[in-house]
A and B are shown apart, each in its own frame.
Chain A
């Protein structure tokens, strides 16, 4: 492993890795999904694969917000931004995601008013500074980010800001996990639960995975030791025939989550009957839109949104990679037509996307080593 000496506790890392090797029965294969894109990134960046026995397979989950956003939603957002009165505000991760007519960044180069922001509150500030324009915040993210959007909408109401709306693409982690568990070709044995999503929703929602599907879930931190300990905890449960929810990331994740965040979500958002995910298709009750009370701040009420479904380019196999059916490298266009510099699929855009993480930390190294 590349960085083992820099770590806070290299001895503990070696010990935990040795324990994993002890726990992993050589006669079976363990398929463990890390749900969160931040975990995928950390696993590749730290080269944790190199510490694991070959029969432990880490499957990369759907927890990268820009990766699961279908192209149709990007086009819908861009269609809103075509109105010259509109300023579209989006996170940096969104700027390079390809739509049918180019990415937001390319559209900006061609004159569209798209601004990169680091916080939804910055979008709200833009609205205050541009009273004669309509500022639309292109909201993406799981339950980690949705409360921040909710607070921003509440703030807009409190301040009486009328030229600010949210184009909500917030998605929910549990329905995605369930869709993966319900897929006919599902072969997963357990889950590494997301860290910061769980700081908001807590650990209780995952009990469904343990109880109804009989799969262990361990909510994990992001350090190498955290991830290795979580893998060991999953293995121990599997070996003992247990399926429980365990919290390895207690220092940040309370079992009950963050009540203030959950209240804000409840107040501002309603669950959509269904929402289209890239690669996973339509999933029931898997995304958030603004409550009717907040229609004034809802971009989908203020602007006409066509809601067209757009299929991904044929050669792109993002869906299969997202479901864990293919490894990034097995996609036909990986490293050829599709690279982080010129992404075809969204998994190549964000550093949390499994294709980009694999490309930067495994593929380039292998190419360099011949």
Chain B
């Protein structure tokens, strides 16, 4: 639960300030952007995701490292499952 999942924002959040599409190892789902109001994210940015919310903006390099870390911890599948499990869309 404590291990955040890295993903890349696919669409520009301007259309709906609360949500954006994120891609995590090929899986696309909506995530909530409320926690990043201050940072101002845009399409193409990388973020760390936790329980359906983007919680920190990170660099692409950090995202790759985090993916490697999840793989080494044997958690990559679980992370993918978690993102696949997000069903809320734009609730």
Q: A residues within 8 Å of B by Cβ?
A: 3, 6-8, 36-38, 41-42, 45-46, 63, 65, 91, 93, 117-122, 124-125, 128, 141, 144-145, 147-148, 151, 154-155, 159, 194-196, 199-200, 222-223, 251-252, 258-261, 264, 350, 352
Contact = CB atoms under 8 A, between A and B. Distances in A.
Contact of A122 (B4, B18, B85): B85
Pick from B1, B18, B34, B72 the residue with the most CB of A within 10 Å.
B1
B16 interface: no
Contacts of A38: 1-3
Contacts of B35: 147-148, 151, 258, 260-261, 264
Interface size class of B (residues with CB under 8 A): 35 or more
For the complex of A and B, list the 3 residue pairs with the smallest distance between their C-beta atoms, beginning with the closest: A119-B52, A38-B2, A121-B88
A141 B59 CA distance: 26
B34 A260 contact: yes
B55 to A, nearest CB: 6
Contacts of B88: 119, 121-122, 124-125
A326 B45 CA distance: 45
A199 B50 CA distance: 12
B69 interface: yes
A230 B68 CA distance: 20
Contact of B91 (A41, A155, A252): A155
B77 interface: no
Contacts of B65: 8, 223
B56 interface: yes
Given A8-B68, A151-B34, A196-B4, A252 B51 contact: no
Interface of B: 1-4, 18, 32, 34-38, 48, 50-53, 55-56, 58-59, 62, 65, 68-69, 72-74, 82-83, 85-89, 91
B91 A124 contact: yes
A260 B36 contact: yes
Contacts of B56: 199, 252, 258
Nearest to A40: B2
Contacts of A141: 1, 51
B72 A3 contact: yes
B65 to A, nearest CB: 7
Nearest to A65: B1
Given A125-B91, A223-B65, 16 more contacts: A8-B65, A45-B73, A118-B51, A119-B52, A122-B87, A124-B88, A125-B88, A145-B51, A148-B51, A151-B34, A196-B4, A222-B69, A223-B69, A260-B35, A260-B38, A352-B2
